[in-house]
Chains A and B, each alone.
Chain A
Amino acid sequence: AQSVTQLGSHVSVSEGALVLLRCNYSSSVPPYLFWYVQYPNQGLQLLLKYTTGATLVKGINGFEAEFKKSETSFHLTKPSAHMSDAAEYFCAVSISGSARQLTFGSGTQLTVLP
Chain B
Amino acid sequence: DVKVTQSSRYLVKRTGEKVFLECVQDMDHENMFWYRQDPGLGLRLIYFSYDVKMKEKGDIPEGYSVSREKKERFSLILESASTNQTSMYLCASSMRFDEQYFGPGTRLTVT
Given A44-B90, A49-B99, the answer on whether A101 and B105 have CB atoms closer than 8 Å is: no
Chain A residue with Cβ nearest B58: A101
Q: Are B42 and A97 in contact, with the CB atoms below 8 A?
A: no
**Interface size on A (CB < 8 Å)?**
21
Pick the interface stretch among B43-51, B63-71, B77-85.
Answer: B43-51
* B43 engages A90 (CB within 8 Å): yes
Min distance, Cβ B99 to any Cβ of chain A, angstroms: 5
Q: In the bound complex, do residue A99 and residue B90 qualify as a contact, i.e. CB atoms below 8 Å apart?
A: no
Complex: chain A residue closest to B104, CB-CB:
A43
Contact A90 B104, CB 8 Å, known A34-B99, A99-B98: no
Query: Measured between C-beta atoms, what is the minimum distance from B64 to chain A in Å?
Result: 16
* Given known contacts A43-B103, A43-B105, A104 and B90 CB-to-CB distance under 8 angstroms: no
Is B104 a contact partner of A107 (Cβ separation < 8 A)?
Answer: no
A45 interfacial by beta-carbon distance below 8 Å: yes
Interface pair A99/B100, CB less than 8 Å apart: yes
CA distance A100 to B56 in the complex (A): 11
A90, B45: Cβ atoms under 8 Å?
no
Contact B4 A43 (CB under 8 A): yes
How far is the CB of B20 from the nearest CB of chain A, in Å?
19
Contact B40 A101 (CB under 8 A): no
Q: Is A106 a contact partner of B31 (Cβ separation < 8 A)?
A: no
Asked if residues B45 and A101 are in contact (CB atoms below 8 Å), the reply is yes
Q: Which of B5-28 contact A (CB under 8 A)?
A: 9
Q: Is B102 close to A, CB under 8 A? A: yes
Q: Bound complex: CA of A36 vs CA of B102, how far in Å?
A: 10
Bound-state CA distance A101–B56 (Å) is 11
When the two chains form their complex, are residues B58 and A106 in contact, meaning their CB atoms are under 8 A apart? no
Are B102 and A105 interface neighbours, CB within 8 A?
Answer: no
Please, how many angstroms separate the alpha-carbon atoms of A86 and B42 in the complex? 17
Cβ contact within 8 Å between A100 and B98: no
Contact B105 A104 (CB under 8 A): no
Q: List 8 A-B residue pairs with CB atoms under 8 Å apart, sorted by A's residue number.
A: A41-B104, A43-B104, A46-B99, A46-B100, A49-B99, A100-B50, A102-B100, A104-B42
The 6 lowest CB-CB distance pairs between A and B, nearest first, are A43-B102, A106-B42, A44-B102, A104-B43, A104-B42, A43-B104
